[in-house]
Amino acid sequence: MFSRRSIIAGISGLGATLALPTGAMARSAPKMARLRPGDTVGLIAPASVSDDPFSLETAQSTMRGMGLVPKLGQHAADRFGYLAGTDRDRAADVHAMFADESVRAIFALRGGWGGARMLPLLDWDLIRAHPKLLVGFSDVTAFHLAFAARAGFPTIHGPNAGNRWDSISWNSFWRIAFAGQTPILNGSEGQDVTQDRWRITTIRPGKASGRLLGGNLTVLSTMMGSPWLPDFDGAILFLEEVGEAEYRVDRMLNQLALAGILRKVAGVVFGQCSRCDSGVANYTGFSVPQILHQYLSQLGIPVFAGANIGHVGNQLSLPVGADVRIDAEAGTIELLDPIVA
């Protein structure tokens, strides 16, 4: 658990200096208003309830440390089993934040599980009529994918409000959401140079452009066959995972292959697979890097792995649904057009 002081320290000082055809949404999407210091942002709990009594206070303090004014959803502190309120109440908070003209962006408080349960309840006409930045990751992948299919404007895959915002997470977010820049994001930025397993690895070199789609591998795979997935034809697919044994990563990638998604995309970025091991003594099965190579090396498209995306410190903030260019040898993701004006 990271203290409020460590979270704010990661961003202090930086703010002052700092189902459409693939690609169609990014090119035709209305530019959302960029964030500015003093803007009000909504905090919603779309998934799991938090068992930490200080989580709401920490999240609000983090937003204030960004120079923003937090506004809690009416049901953000609710509990319904392991969910942060009933599906209808959590959906009501989403609607309220999009309808509220004073709210300039919306942050998920945390992930867990539950976002996908709300998708049939969301008023997509309301959401499309009030384009705003939606920020979060992990279970929030369900929102990122559904928004890419239904909303008509990009979202940001980045830390949840209740998570840590280290300097690189904040800097990449600031450049995209505040400054309206088109940064080239270095996938290895902020990584521990002494680590071996998850350094940037080029599985197949090359450059490719397309609409950036993806997120958490588990959430994506469980949405197969639903009407809430965007068209992946020509997309740049990015994936991350946490706490899954090797055979489960194998099974989920196989699901994407069987569904035809891997054959459709123009490039793949696999981020971090944190704590992805079976925990079995004297394990003799495939490693996750071996599994990635088996599924991704024969696609004939640029692929790299080990980017700082996922359940890790200093994770990059990424513009889901926007047009990007990747360089698999350099390990970079370049935003091609600003998503805010």
How does pLDDT run across 69-94, given as a tens digit for each residue?
A: 999 999 999 999 999 999 999 999 99
CATH of domain 184-335: 3.50.30.60
Amino acid at site 335: L
Q: What value does the mean pLDDT take over residues 189-214?
A: 79
CA distance 76 to 6: 24
Q: In sequence order, which residues have a C-beta less than 8 Å from that of residue 135 and are 6 or more positions away?
A: 105, 106, 107, 108, 155, 156, 158, 159, 160, 161, 173, 177, 317
**HSE of 232, CA atoms in CB hemisphere, 13 A:** 23
CA distance 172 to 167: 9
In this predicted structure, the answer to whether residue 266 has a pLDDT above a threshold of 80 is yes
Q: What value does the mean pLDDT take over residues 300-326?
A: 96
Q: What value does the mean pLDDT take over residues 293-297?
A: 98
% of the chain residues with pLDDT over 90: 83
| Average pLDDT over the chain, rounded to an integer | 90
Q: Which CATH architecture has domain 4-166?
A: 3-Layer(aba) Sandwich (3.40)
Task: Pick the closest to residue 310 from 243, 254, 224 (CA basis).
Answer: 243
Query: Residue 285 — very low, low, confident or very high, per pLDDT cuts 50/70/90?
Result: very high
Beta strands 133-136; 155-157: pairing state: parallel
- pTM exceeding the 0.85 threshold for the entire prediction: yes
Burial of residue 257 (CB within 10 Å: 0-12, 13-18, 19+) is middle
Task: Pick the closest to residue 121 from 79, 90, 150, 145 (CA basis).
Answer: 90
Instruction: Tell me the angle at which helices 55-65 and 4-11 cross, rounded to the nearest 10 degrees.
Output: 20
CA distance 13 to 113: 34
CA distance 309 to 19: 25
The alpha carbons of the chain give a radius of gyration, in whole angstroms, of 19
CA distance 28 to 222: 29
Query: Residue 278 — very low, low, confident or very high, per pLDDT cuts 50/70/90?
Result: confident
Domain ranges of the chain: 4-166, 184-335
Task: Pick the closest to residue 271 from 228, 207, 333 (CA basis).
Answer: 333
- Lowest-pLDDT range of 127-136, 157-166, 186-195, 247-256: 186-195
Q: What is the pLDDT of residue 51?
A: 74
In this predicted structure, the answer to whether residue 5 has a pLDDT above a threshold of 60 is no
Identical fold at 4-166 and 184-335?
A: no
Q: What is the pLDDT of residue 279?
A: 85
The residues carrying an active-site annotation are 138, 240, 311
In this predicted structure, the answer to whether residue 199 has a pLDDT above a threshold of 60 is yes
Q: How many CB atoms lie within 10 A of CB 225?
A: 7
Work out the end-to-end distance of the chain between its first and last CA atoms, rounded to an integer number of angstroms. Answer: 36
In this predicted structure, the answer to whether residue 320 has a pLDDT above a threshold of 50 is yes
CA distance 205 to 330: 9
In this predicted structure, the answer to whether residue 324 has a pLDDT above a threshold of 60 is yes
Q: What is the pLDDT of residue 195?
A: 52
Q: What is the pLDDT of residue 309?
A: 96
- Lowest-pLDDT range of 137-146, 187-196, 201-210: 187-196
In this predicted structure, the answer to whether residue 153 has a pLDDT above a threshold of 70 is yes
CA distance 106 to 219: 20
Q: How many CB atoms lie within 10 A of CB 17?
A: 7
Angle at 15 between CA 272 and CA 139, to 5 degrees: 35
In this predicted structure, the answer to whether residue 4 has a pLDDT above a threshold of 80 is no
Q: What value does the mean pLDDT take over residues 217-237?
A: 97
Query: Residue 30 — very low, low, confident or very high, per pLDDT cuts 50/70/90?
Result: low
Q: What is the pLDDT of residue 198?
A: 53
Q: How many CB atoms lie within 10 A of CB 129?
A: 10
What phi and psi values does residue 186 have, to the nearest 5 degrees? -85, 115
Query: Residue 2 — very low, low, confident or very high, per pLDDT cuts 50/70/90?
Result: very low
Q: pLDDT tens, 35-70? A: 999 999 999 999 999 877 788 999 999 999 999 999
The CA distances from residue 157 to 37, 64, 218, 337, in Å, are 21, 20, 15, 17
DSSP 174: I
* Whether 139 contacts 114, CB under 8 Å: yes
DSSP lists the bridge partners of residue 71 as 42
- Lowest-pLDDT range of 12-26, 80-94, 100-114, 119-133: 12-26
CA distance 70 to 48: 20
